[in-house]
């Protein structure tokens, strides 16, 4: 009797609670739960400093936004991809399934992006690359859940091809590491450069001394040298190029002299040229604030890895604000991201149909600032509001 | 390819060979005398460069940095010997390879932890900046000449130490028959420690010398270590003289191959495939040379006669 009574009472109580509001606080709590962002930033290995730029750029964005994205509290989950695709996939899967992140942001290297592309987008989570931009994802492999705030990798090489063409260099010599990205770099440069390529030199990725190649350059006496030597390779090449007295031959490059490598290249890099989407000197209000606060906070000059990541934070803020904090309606969120209704440190910024930026590209030169630090400074606009050449191949599937 | 360019490339090859010798000398002694495979030897080279970067920033002088970095690498070598390697002398080669590989991982991440992962630079000593015009439009940096001179001087010193001093005699005896040397009442453990510390310091010296021309970064010794092993295998394990000649040979083959191969291939192939095949062949050339030498002389060029 008492048991029956108890059960009936319990049922009644439960029914009453269900209708009158126990579920309501749960909904409210879900709404108030922080937005979780998985930030994939390389933190180990020789290239970790690029990941540090990326991480610090995004973190500065979050600080400027007072750790809120579109009015909702936000939480950043740091993921070190270790530059190993298998490790990246394992960690990103854990972030998706265990931590239930609402978006994945970051990624320095293209091979890591390629590895996590499917796991992230297939779980219908938005993936925003702040650096890696392999051309397949801009063309046939474009994806409704993927955006890039950076560029298509090939564009930076093509920019220098066009810059060399515009400068009227008749004979150019190319020097790149002997791997896929090196060969892509040569192809990108050649797509815009119509002059004579005196020679193409391919060096092993592990080669640190370029004296043999520098002697060949001196013997061939080209009008300019174009190179793509990321990270430590670029530090070695730039210093040895200067030491060999070759600096009177214009040094054109992509991903070789930037604020991540300049602290180690120093004076040797002054006057060397690079193609880029952004420099610390671009004259707009957001950029001035970004660079000033970044240096105050982290005590080094930001590179484009940091700038693109900062933009990604601002982009997410604008998009989540537009949907009123609702992350469940994917189509609405996608439209809000695509609108790119934020003020970029690059000035003008819009997404093309393939979710890659339509933007300006600059020829920039390395200079030393009055305070002794080194930075790239924009010289001239090479591409004006350009769409990448792969966008035409993209047939964006409906989400 | 003009004769001057060939000479320049020869000089470049010589300089690489000298750096390789400084690393390989310690490696061949440790391997030859103690029968100990030390994969962590390249780490000593990296530490030398990092110490140079650190002390150069602190003292503002390359020479002071060199002076301080040498005892520092010596100390690290001795500490490693005491803590880790000493316990591995009696184990088989596989255990040594595993343990010393672990040391590589720990120290590579250790320097990242202490100095950060961004590459560092060491300014050239003031007196050696600049270069002399070696061919039209190309300067050969004075500093690179200093590396060659410093390396040759070290090789001479090493030859004198090994061939003309009592410690050197014991080392040669140890390379031939270590148990016999111990039986004659020599403290072989202490001898091992001296050899080990000295080898570590030589690699550190190479790192200091390389720091002003190469970027100082974690893992910078790993690639050179492979070449250093090629050198000691070609030269004959345990032989300093063999290591010297083999290092110069490897340096020249590596540099001249890289520079000449694409041109040689152009005689047979069209330019674009010649470049690809040439680059690929050039990176194999050292190993092809090693295979050829080992086919003719299986114990290397100057094998140490073992009992």
What tens digit of pLDDT does each residue of A268-314 get? 999 999 999 999 999 999 999 999 999 999 999 999 999 999 999 99
Q: Is the pLDDT of residue A26 over 50?
A: no
Q: What is the CATH number of the domain that holds B287?
A: 1.10.3470
| Token digits of residue A296 | 């105050």
φ/ψ (deg, to 5) at B280: -65, -45
Between the alpha carbon of residue B196 and those of residues B99, B102, B173, the distances in Å are 16, 18, 16
Smallest Cβ distance to B136: which of A218, A244, A266?
A: A218
Mean pLDDT of chain A: 90
What tens digit of pLDDT does each residue of B93-149 get? 999 999 999 999 999 989 988 988 778 888 888 888 888 888 888 889 999 999 999
Specify if B272 maps to a domain: yes
Same domain, A55 and A24: no
User: Does B139 reach chain A within 8 Å, measured CB to CB?
Assistant: yes
- Check: CB of residue B56 under 8 Å from CB of residue B123: yes
Overall domain count for chain A? 3
Reported as a pLDDT band with limits 50, 70 and 90, residue B305 is low
Specify if B305 maps to a domain: no
Q: Are B139 and A244 inside 8 Å of each other by CB?
A: yes
Same domain, A200 and A287: no
H-helix or E-strand containing B132? strand B131-135
Specify if B306 maps to a domain: no
Same domain, A166 and A256: yes
Specify if A171 maps to a domain: yes
Specify if A364 maps to a domain: no
Specify if A376 maps to a domain: no
ipTM of the complex: 0.82
Q: What is the CATH number of the domain that holds A127?
A: 3.40.50.2300
Same domain, A145 and A220: no
- Check: CB of residue A383 under 8 Å from CB of residue A162: yes
Same domain, A304 and A329: yes
| pLDDT of A31 | 55
- Chain B residues with CB under 8 Å of A236 CB are 213-215
Specify if A380 maps to a domain: no
Q: For residue A322, what are the contacts with CB-CB under 8 A and spacing of at least 6?
A: A70, A336, A339, A341
What is the pLDDT averaged over residues A15-37?
Answer: 57
φ/ψ (deg, to 5) at A314: -65, -35
Smallest Cβ distance to B138: which of A201, A214, A235?
A: A214
What tens digit of pLDDT does each residue of A131-156 get? 999 999 999 999 999 999 999 999 99
Range of B238's domain? Answer: 3-296
Q: pTM of the prediction?
A: 0.84
Using the 8-state DSSP alphabet, how is residue A206 labeled? T
- Chain B residues with CB under 8 Å of A200 CB are 272, 275
Same domain, A39 and A9: no
Same domain, A99 and A186: no
User: Which of A232, A239, A250, A258 to probe by mutation at the B interface, max B CB count within 10 Å?
Assistant: A232
Range of A291's domain? Answer: 33-151+282-359
Same domain, A70 and A139: yes
Specify if B303 maps to a domain: no
Overall domain count for chain B? 1
Same domain, A220 and A271: yes
Q: Are strands A171-177 and A103-106 parallel, antiparallel or unpaired?
A: unpaired
Q: Give DSSP secondary structure letters for A161-199.
A: HHHHHHHT--EEEEEEESSHHHHHHHHHHHHH--SEEEE
- Check: CB of residue A305 under 8 Å from CB of residue A54: yes
Same domain, A10 and A98: no
Specify if A398 maps to a domain: no
Same domain, A164 and A175: yes
Q: Is the pLDDT of residue A19 over 50?
A: no
- Chain A residues with CB under 8 Å of B276 CB are 178, 202
Same domain, A146 and A292: yes
Reported as a pLDDT band with limits 50, 70 and 90, residue B306 is low
| Token digits of residue A27 | 């909904």
């Amino acid at each position: 009797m008492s048991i029956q009574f108890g059960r009936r009472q319990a049922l009644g109580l439960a029914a009453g609670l269900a209708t009158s509001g126990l579920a309501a606080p749960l909904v409210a709590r879900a709404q108030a739960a922080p937005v979780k962002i998985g930030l994939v930033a390389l933190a180990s290995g020789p290239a970790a400093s690029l990941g540090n730029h990326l991480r610090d750029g995004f973190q500065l964005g979050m600080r400027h936004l007072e750790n809120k994205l579109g009015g909702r509290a936000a939480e950043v989950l740091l993921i070190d991809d270790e530059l190993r695709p298998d490790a990246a996939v394992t960690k990103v899967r854990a972030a998706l399934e265990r931590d239930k992140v609402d978006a994945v942001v970051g990624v320095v290297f293209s091979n890591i992006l390629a590895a996590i592309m499917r796991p992230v987008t297939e779980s219908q989570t938005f993936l925003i690359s702040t650096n890696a931009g392999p051309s397949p994802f801009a063309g046939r492999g474009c994806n409704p859940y993927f955006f890039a705030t950076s560029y298509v990798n090939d564009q930076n090489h093509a920019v220098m091809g066009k810059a060399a063409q515009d400068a009227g260099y008749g004979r150019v010599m190319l020097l790149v590491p002997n791997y896929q990205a090196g060969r892509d770099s040569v192809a990108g440069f050649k797509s815009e450069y119509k002059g004579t390529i005196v020679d193409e030199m391919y060096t092993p990725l592990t080669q640190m001394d370029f004296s043999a190649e520098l002697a060949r350059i001196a013997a061939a006496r080209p009008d300019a040298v174009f190179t793509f030597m990321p990270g430590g390779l670029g530090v070695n090449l730039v210093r040895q190029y200067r030491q060999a007295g070759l600096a009177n031959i214009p040094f054109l490059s992509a991903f070789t002299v930037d604020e991540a490598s300049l602290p180690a290249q120093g004076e040797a890099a002054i006057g060397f040229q690079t193609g880029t989407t952004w420099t610390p000197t671009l004259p707009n209000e957001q950029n001035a604030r970004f660079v000033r606060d970044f240096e105050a906070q982290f005590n080094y000059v930001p590179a484009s890895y940091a700038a693109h990541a900062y933009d990604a934070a601002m982009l997410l803020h604008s998009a989540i604000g537009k949907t009123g904090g609702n992350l469940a309606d994917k189509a609405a969120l996608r439209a809000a991201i695509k609108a790119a209704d934020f003020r970029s440190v690059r000035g003008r910024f819009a997404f093309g149909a393939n979710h890659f930026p339509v933007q300006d590209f600059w020829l920039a030169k390395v200079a030393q600032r009055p305070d002794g630090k080194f930075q790239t400074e924009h010289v001239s606009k090479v591409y004006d509001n350009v769409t990448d050449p792969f966008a035409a191949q993209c047939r964006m599937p409906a989400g | 390819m003009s004769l001057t360019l060939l000479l320049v490339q020869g000089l470049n090859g010589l300089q690489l060979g000298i750096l390789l010798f400084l690393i390989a000398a310690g490696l061949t002694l440790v391997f030859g005398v103690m029968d100990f495979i030390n994969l962590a030897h390249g780490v000593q080279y990296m530490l030398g460069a990092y110490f140079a970067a650190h002390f150069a920033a602190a003292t503002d002088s390359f020479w002071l940095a060199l002076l301080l970095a040498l005892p520092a690498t010596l100390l690290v070598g001795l500490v490693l010997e005491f803590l880790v390697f000493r316990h591995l002398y009696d184990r088989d080669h596989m255990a040594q390879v595993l343990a010393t590989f672990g040391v590589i991982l720990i120290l590579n991440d250790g320097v990242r932890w202490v100095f950060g992962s961004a590459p560092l630079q060491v300014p050239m000593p003031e007196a050696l900046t600049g270069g002399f015009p070696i061919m039209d439009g190309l300067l050969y940096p004075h500093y690179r000449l200093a590396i060659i001179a410093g390396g040759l001087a070290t090789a001479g010193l090493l030859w004198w130490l090994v061939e003309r001093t009592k410690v050197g005699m014991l080392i040669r005896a140890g390379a031939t028959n270590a148990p016999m040397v111990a039986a004659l009442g020599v403290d072989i453990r202490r001898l091992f420690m001296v050899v080990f510390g000295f080898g570590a310091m030589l690699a550190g010296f190479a790192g200091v010398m390389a720091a002003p021309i190469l970027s100082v970064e974690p893992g910078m010794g790993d690639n050179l270590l492979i070449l250093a092993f090629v050198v000691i295998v070609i030269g004959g394990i345990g032989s300093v003289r063999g290591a010297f000649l083999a290092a110069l040979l490897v340096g020249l083959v590596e540099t001249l191959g890289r520079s000449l191969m694409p041109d040689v291939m152009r005689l047979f192939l069209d330019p674009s495939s010649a470049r690809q095949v040439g680059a690929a062949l050039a990176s194999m050339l050292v190993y092809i040379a090693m295979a050829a030498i080992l086919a003719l002389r299986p114990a290397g060029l100057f094998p140490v006669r073992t009992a």
